[in-house]
A and B are shown apart, each in its own frame.
Chain A
């Protein structure tokens, strides 16, 4: 049976319900929550292995035949994304054992996290455009609450911006789905892919493509629609910011890649050229924003925006190698951005601030933390042998092969600037003497973090750091998996056949 496709949705759901049952017992919730996340991760691997061995898997919900019912379908790309969702879930939830206040935990932090994960996994695995919308909503509503949970002033301000922009995006998405149904008469993605070419008015398809680009572009935070991200992501506590940064923007990217490889491939000169331009502008504007910021998490948010451009760049070039690079880059980016935001949380726990001007001397007081920061930071900058290097290398190679020199140059400059930004952070927060101590001695932190909780904080970050190292050293097998995923994304027949079966 195709149970393996259901687990990524059922496990977080069951975990959320179990956590709700244990509402008053914080410790029970913690145990349940970690168990659920580990199971989700395991089910992700199970799915990946299953798809690797037997091709694209699909299951018809409620036994309704394909174009009419809702299909759950997983190709390698979906399976990879679910593994990444599980990884983010496990690391962030382990981290929050030591860095989440009691108030938030007793007001539903754990159930909400699992509802969020359920929404994310649902979006990755559904084969129906309207169902995708529903999963987006599940994910967004959980994220609205998580972002506002705790009700601090800055947080609420960020939440208002986040909610407004995302509601607009949802409205655009819904309108696009409506027009699409009117034009093509189906919402099953495989069925849409078959019929998209037969739509009489080619202008309508381009309009639809632009609408989807707008809707998912807001969620993925691409230029010029990204300004909500640096305004809202730095406001919630570190674990919530980390899962948002690591995972949520990637859902937008996933949706973009899905629709622009499966559905909108008729008018490549317009849509994918537009994507390429947007990718370049996203990279530049993000990194320039990061250069002028002075608060640790705002810098990271702008770097996050900038690197979304790299993932879109692969989609815009639209060759096999480029899509491979995009998939690889998503894997890399999930790992390093989650790691960096978690490091930011530890810095805050140690020093009580995110302001670069009052940070410093972290290298002498916390050498291990510095090492944990350096791994993902260098990876973002694209230093070999870390995963960021290979992602950028393959992207650049794909760009060179197709002669897109402008975007290649942009990507290289932005990579260099990223390295500059990360090194500036390293120099300001870690390397230089603390501004408080004139003699340059180490500063005793305001509220020292105990050894046990430090262990809990460092473990997930260490795992993420090692993963970016491992993905760099063993880039070959990872790239092989990504290349198979790109195969399946570009040759849509297999996807269509898996969903629709024998229907001609």
Chain B
């Protein structure tokens, strides 16, 4: 049972939702948002796509297997915490680049931690949703 409305709408919604998720991820430094909620929004985009077009196509659009997303996320988050160790600071101390980047603002290790959380949440949620839909 494929809904025509959802199938048509999701073509436009998918990029929009992904863009929104990245926006939420980026504003997470000082405002409500962040990696967790951004990851949920991104995974909801793919979940909707899977509802409309099936799991197989959704997996192909995602390109990366959810498990690899989890691995990449854990790796990013973990190593972002390790960076301060090289500067003789405790684990997970926030380090920031001085230069200001347009749109993103200041970049630092907490951002990479958030990015890792984003990837883990995306991976875990999609892994659960895909395996439930395949049952």
Contacts and interface: CB of A to CB of B under 8 A. Distances in A.
Interface of A: 1-3, 6, 10, 13-14, 16-17, 20-21, 23, 59-63
B75 A17 contact: yes
A375 B89 CA distance: 47
A63 B93 contact: yes
A492 B88 CA distance: 29
Nearest to B71: A20
B85 to A, nearest CB: 7
A457 B90 CA distance: 41
B78 interface: yes
Nearest to B109: A62
B96 interface: no
A23 B78 contact: no
**Shortest 3 CB-CB distances between A and B: which pairs?**
A63-B93, A20-B71, A62-B92
Contacts of B28: none
A361 B27 CA distance: 69
A14 to B, nearest CB: 7
State the majority secondary structure of interface residues on B.
helix
13 contacts: A1-B88, A3-B85, A10-B82, A17-B75, A20-B70, A23-B67, A23-B71, A59-B90, A61-B90, A61-B91, A61-B92, A62-B93, A63-B93
A23 B127 CA distance: 15
A17 B71 contact: yes
B33 interface: no
Nearest to A72: B91
B74 interface: yes
A62 B67 contact: no
B85 A1 contact: yes
A23 B91 CA distance: 28
A23 B84 CA distance: 29
A17 B90 CA distance: 22
B71 A21 contact: yes
A74 B123 CA distance: 34
B54 interface: no
A255 to B, nearest CB: 23
Interface of B: 67, 70-71, 74-75, 78, 82, 84-85, 88-94
Nearest to A62: B92
A5 to B, nearest CB: 9
A1 B89 CA distance: 8
Contacts of B90: 2, 59-63
B91 A14 contact: no
Contacts of B75: 17, 21
A62 B85 contact: no
Contact of A63 (B71, B74, B78, B89): B89
Contacts of A60: 90
Contacts of A13: 74, 78
B120 to A, nearest CB: 11
B59 to A, nearest CB: 16
A137 to B, nearest CB: 15
A61 B93 CA distance: 7
Nearest to A115: B74
A61 B89 CA distance: 9
Contacts of B94: 62
A139 B7 CA distance: 41
A59 B91 contact: yes
Given A20-B67, A23-B71, 4 more contacts: A17-B71, A17-B74, A20-B70, A63-B89
A20 B74 CA distance: 10
A10 B90 CA distance: 13
B90 to A, nearest CB: 5
Contacts of B93: 62-63
A17 B71 CA distance: 6
B109 to A, nearest CB: 10
B132 to A, nearest CB: 16
A63 B93 CA distance: 6
B128 to A, nearest CB: 13
Contact of A17 (B78, B85, B89, B92): B78
A23 B69 CA distance: 13
B25 to A, nearest CB: 20
B124 to A, nearest CB: 11
Contacts of A1: 85, 88
A21 B69 CA distance: 10
Contacts of B92: 61-62
A137 B51 CA distance: 32
Contacts of B88: 1
A398 B88 CA distance: 45
Nearest to B92: A62
Contacts of A3: 85
A16 B77 CA distance: 14
Nearest to B75: A17
Nearest to A21: B71
A13 B76 CA distance: 12
A40 to B, nearest CB: 16
A138 B93 CA distance: 22
A6 B91 contact: yes
Contacts of A21: 71, 75
A141 to B, nearest CB: 11
B97 to A, nearest CB: 18
B78 A14 contact: yes
Nearest to A63: B93
